[in-house]
Amino acid sequence: MELWPGAWTALLQLLLLLLSTLWFCSSSAKYFFKMAFYNGWILFLAILAIPVCAVRGRNVENMKILRLLLLHVKYLYGIRVEVRGAHHFPPTQPYVVVSNHQSSLDLLGMMEVLPDRCVPIAKRELLWAGSAGLACWLAGIIFIDRKRTGDAISVMSEVAQTLLTQDVRVWVFPEGTRNHNGSMLPFKRGAFHLAVQAQVPIIPIVMSSYQDFYSKKERRFTSPGRCQVRVLPPVSTEGLTPDDVPALADSVRHSMLTIFREISTDGLGGGDCLKKPGGAGEARL
């Protein structure tokens, strides 16, 4: 059958339109769109935060402003964050929080429980993330250069002093990098040296697996999603020395991994904590 040449162009355009509509509706496209919006929205919120934070200059109190600005983001993504064990946070003293690190989405769980005067320790590269980098700097976030172990360790040692003299708490991701494999990487020991040096307790925090609603590998990000953030009882470091650090790190990781498997709903564990009476809707236990 002979077709008018313009008809071929029209058919091709129709096909392209069909393909792009299919791609747009595909789960990968949704994943990319949602992640791009997530980063873009954070950059935008940081623009709002900067002038407010700048009034105080670089100050850990500014962390409250970032937290307030970020608290709504979970609603945009239909993620229900349930916090358990928040009563384990010591009310006044300094301490070191350690938590698992799955994705940049951890920010949502982190903001849900972030104690007052608590700052994360972050990779130096974050400083260059445009407005977000500047907002992080203004909020007193501590930056380390992971490529220079010596420098990173001396920053951590300074932090041990700051914890005590300026009454701050720090949040460390001891895996040292994001881990998408549905478990936990071996722990680096910086956070534990820090806690032992300052003789302050460690507060382990476990965020349940996101595999139900989010997977970077599969390019999948669906809604609704739910995540449990479990604050574990403090681990004392009183009287411990640097020789005790390896055992301390191993034992904290072991308790965190046990809880991670228990509260994750992706087949790694029962995940039944979210289904127990009082679980759903009960935000803080």
Ligand X SMILES: CCCCCCCC/C=C\CCCCCCCC(=O)OC[C@@H](O)COP(=O)(O)O
Ligand Y SMILES: CCCCCCCCCCCCCCC(=O)SCCNC(=O)CCNC(=O)[C@H](O)C(C)(C)COP(=O)(O)OP(=O)(O)OC[C@H]1O[C@@H](n2cnc3c(N)ncnc32)[C@H](O)[C@@H]1OP(=O)(O)O
Q: Which listed range, 7-15, 29-37, 171-179, 221-229, lies at the site for ligand Y (CB under 6 A)?
A: 171-179
Shortest distance, position 59 Cβ to ligand Y, whole Å:
15
**Long-range CB contacts (within 8 A, 24+) of 66-72:** 66/111, 66/135, 66/136, 66/139, 67/111, 67/114, 69/45, 70/42, 70/45, 70/107, 70/108, 70/111, 71/111, 71/112
The interface partner of residue 121, options being ligand X, ligand Y, none and the CB cut-off 5 to 8 Å by kind, is ligand Y
Cβ–Cβ under 8 Å, residues 124 and 155: no
Shortest distance, position 225 Cβ to ligand Y, whole Å:
20
Between 66 and 252, whose beta carbon lies closer to ligand Y? 66
- 205 vs 203: CA distance, rounded Å: 6
Burial classification of residue 170, based on how many CB atoms lie within 10 Å of its CB (0-12 exposed, 13-18 middle, 19 or more buried): buried
Per CB under 6 A, does 152 bind ligand Y?
A: yes
Between 250 and 282, whose beta carbon lies closer to ligand Y? 250
- 3-state DSSP assignment of residue 79: strand
The interface partner of residue 130, options being ligand Y, ligand X, none and the CB cut-off 5 to 8 Å by kind, is ligand X
Between 80 and 124, whose beta carbon lies closer to ligand X? 124
Q: In what order do the strands lie in the sheet with 96-99?
A: 79-84, 225-231, 202-207, 96-99, 169-172, 118-123, 142-144
Residues 3-62 that bind ligand X (CB under 6 A): 39, 42-43
Per CB under 6 A, does 113 bind ligand Y?
A: no
Between 115 and 176, whose beta carbon lies closer to ligand X? 176
Contact residue for ligand Y among 31, 42, 203, 214 (CB under 6 A): 42
Residues that bind ligand X (CB under 6 A): 39, 42-43, 101, 104, 107, 123, 129-130, 132, 173, 177-178
